[in-house]
Amino acid sequence: MYADEQKTKGTDAVATAVAWLKARNDKEKLAMGVVAGVLALLLLWVFIEDHDMLFVFSEFTHFVGIGLLAYKLISKKTCVGISLHTQDLTLLFLGIRLYCSFVMEYDIHTILDAVTLTATVWVVFMMRTRLKHTYQEEMDNLYSYYVAVPCLLLAGFIHPGTSHFWLNRVLWAACVYLEAVSVLPQLRLMQKNKVVERFVGHYVFALGLSRFFNCAHWILQIMDGNSFILHILGYGMWPIFVLLSEIVQTFILADFCYYYVKSYAGGSGVVRLPEYVV
């Protein structure tokens, strides 16, 4: 009886908090989101001694997200709700990053990228072959080249000014820009479907966490005055565009993550998106 009462009180408290949050206007919600992000950064700065671990967290969280998609494909035998164009873009930037890791800085991130890339290759293979009949091709119409071509062009103009071979520097920049916007086709598909399938929702939320860890990694390394990070970033416009890319990809997913947390906090477990969430 006591346990039931405690559970009821906990549920009531969550419901009250959700109701209070719903009553806030957009400016108040934005301000609270910014404050929460800053507080999270400060907590990570204080409690995570080796800030390079944040990038490891980011890669691992991304791999978990891909794992959830793989589980959906295996258990449900369907790829409904999954954007093939986002998976293609993910395949592209992971492939580029893996190449750059081999020729520029071979480390633990190379292994993590290789594992995540392998999982993504499998997801793409399944969507293009065995589960092709369940793919929502007509709704997944934000084509990957619409996203990839501008990123490649931008990388040709703005890239690191290090001593590495020019093409490798351009590819590295392209990888950063592609990663920042690779989720756009997935968000577009979910916006058209309105109701987000459970495992797809978990996957995109995992991407949101991954992007936050990634963004925090760069910001905290710079705050620490990490000489190696400052060296590889170089000078000019490149450092600014790196930070902008990290911030953009975090905020692209922030809106979805809000509706994801809101749905599960309210006990529905179903993520419903308004039309403007893209």
248 domain residue, yes or no: yes
Q: Which residues contact 250 (CB under 8 A, 6 or more apart)?
A: 37, 208, 211, 212, 214, 215
Asked whether residue 139 is domain-assigned, the answer is yes
The rounded distance, in Å, linking the Cα atoms of 214 and 231 is: 18
| List of the chain residues with pLDDT < 50 | 7
Q: What is the pLDDT of residue 241?
A: 78
User: Residue 28 domain-assigned?
Assistant: no
Per-residue pLDDT at 165: 85
In-domain check, residue 24? no
Name the domain count of the chain: 1
Residues present in the chain in total: 278
Residue 191: give the domain boundaries. 53-259
Half-sphere exposure of 239 (CA within 13 A, CB side): 13
Cα–Cα distance for residue pair 15/57, rounded to 1 Å: 31
Instruction: Please tell me the predicted confidence (pLDDT) of residue 51.
Output: 62
Residues 169-198 pLDDT 10s: 899 899 989 988 999 999 899 888 878 888
**Contact (Cβ atoms closer than 8 angstroms) between residue 134 and residue 206:** no
Residue 36 lies in a domain: no
Judge whether 162 lies within some domain: yes
Q: What is the pLDDT of residue 77?
A: 93
| Tally of CB atoms within 10 A around 24 | 12
Q: Would you say 259 and 277 are in contact if contact means Cβ atoms under 8 Å apart?
A: yes
Q: pTM higher than 0.85, yes or no?
A: no
* CB-CB neighbours of 89 under 10 Å: 24
Inside any domain, residue 48: no
The residue with tokens 């989720």 is 183
pLDDT in the model for residue 57: 84
Domain annotation covers residue 206 = yes
